[in-house]
Amino acid sequence: MLLKKPSPVGSRPLNLDEVDDPEPGPGQLRIKVHVCGVCHTDLHTVEGELGELSLPVVPGHQVVGTVDATGGRVKGVKVGDRVGVAWLYRTCGACDFCARGDENLCPDARFTGYHVNGGYAEFLTVDHEFAYRLPRGISDENMAPLLCGGIIGYRALRLSEVRPGGRLGLYGFGASAHIAMQIATHWKCRVYAFSRGESRRVLAADLGAVWTGRPDEPPPEKLDAGVVFAPAGHIVPQALEHLDRGGTLSLAGIYMTEIPPLDYERHLYYERTLRSVTAATRRDGRELVKLAAKVPIQTTVQAYPLHEANRALDDLKEGRVNGAAVLNVADDPA
């Protein structure tokens, strides 16, 4: 499903197209795609809300498949292995950020389905060092949402500095939040879930939220930490007001509408912290994959065939997906 020109998803900007199978270069794997998760970042990409997009491009960065072929100088993975591909496609490995372990901040980072062709296709290539060996016991469909929503949710939890047993607010209860919540409850946190949608609040309650409400409703007690998943800037001041002294709010999205002016005393004083989350590192990905099997994390999935990627994105935009949307690439008869 190829994007040639960004436009509103209602205009069906992705087109089913035939292209040559990619050939893996030195150090690369060719992945035969089984499934690919559908992410809000894909929606922002398709609708042109992010800069520096390489066109034409195949979106998709929550890829589960098997290694179909390898180039030279590949270690630790072989043809037939099940692997995952995430948003972080490549970094320079030499800048100060990479050297200190913050490769997500690399100025020369390249991203799957954005700078290079991604998983809305039968095949893609990736450097073997940026592919994840996946555990058994989790299906392809249930694993795919973990490779972005899961990884980003995990990093956002870490950056919120929530401690085991702490009081945590999650704002916007979609694919990433419903995964992050399972990690937080595994850490014995008390989770307060905020969402406009009643079905999302019901899902949060079913997963163990101690309280659910709309984003503009105050929780029954102050929170130690919060994560905003919704790309809605007006939520930020509300979430900051919900924090207790010394609390931290992390913003998990790659895109957000304008944040209203903040009042120093109401929103930031008493050493409250506001921080963004930028992509993720391979360390985050490896830790999340291990944690997924340990918890174990269960994902609520709504599946679509590959040729209906436009409909999947439109359903995501309009809030018609309860959980995570996934494209079944291998089973698509188109």
pLDDT of residue 322: 80
Banded model confidence at residue 72, pLDDT cuts 50, 70, 90: confident
User: How distant is the alpha carbon of residue 174 from its chain centre?
Assistant: 10
Half-sphere exposure of 243 (CA within 13 A, CB side): 30
Do the Cβ atoms of 92 and 130 come closer than 8 Å?
Answer: no
Using 50, 70 and 90 to split pLDDT, how confident is the model at 175?
confident
Architecture of domain 150-276: 3-Layer(aba) Sandwich (3.40)
pLDDT at 333: 67
Helix H or strand E encompassing 106: none
Query: What is the percent of the chain where pLDDT is above 70?
Result: 99
What are 278-324's pLDDT values in tens digits?
999 999 999 999 999 899 998 889 999 999 999 999 999 998 988 78
Q: Could you report the per-residue pLDDT of 225-263, keeping only the tens digit for each?
A: 999 999 999 999 999 999 999 999 999 988 899 999 999
Alpha helix ranges (H) inside 140-280: 140-143, 149-160, 175-186, 198-206, 235-242
Q: Is the pLDDT of residue 276 over 70?
A: yes
Q: What is the mean pLDDT of residues 83-95?
A: 97
Composition of the chain by helix, strand, coil, percent to 5: 30, 25, 45
Chain segment 190-217, per-residue pLDDT in tens: 999 999 989 899 999 999 999 999 999 9
Q: Is the pLDDT of residue 45 over 80?
A: yes
Average pLDDT over residues 64-89: 96
Q: What are the residue ranges spanned by the domains of the chain? A: 2-145+299-328, 150-276
Question: Which phi and psi (to 5°) does residue 45 adopt?
Answer: -65, -50
Between 170-174, 312-316, 329-333, the lowest mean confidence (pLDDT) is in 329-333
- Mean pLDDT across 140-145: 95
Indicate the fold that domain 2-145+299-328 takes in CATH.
Answer: Quinone Oxidoreductase; Chain A, domain 1 (3.90.180)
Quick: pLDDT tens for 118-136. Answer: 999 999 999 999 999 999 8
Count of beta carbons in the 10 Å neighbourhood of residue 105: 16
Reference 125, options 171, 44, 167, 63; nearest CA is: 63
What's the Rg (C-alpha) of the chain? 19
pTM: 0.91
Mean pLDDT of the chain: 95
Kindly state the average pLDDT of the residues 151-174: 96
**Which residues on neighbouring strands pair with residue 67, listed in sequence order?**
31
For the chain, the first-to-last Cα distance in angstroms comes to 11
Would 2-145+299-328 and 150-276 be classified into the same CATH topology?
no
pLDDT of the residue at 107: 97
Q: For residue 258, what pLDDT is reported? A: 97
Confidence of residue 334 (pLDDT cuts 50, 70, 90): low
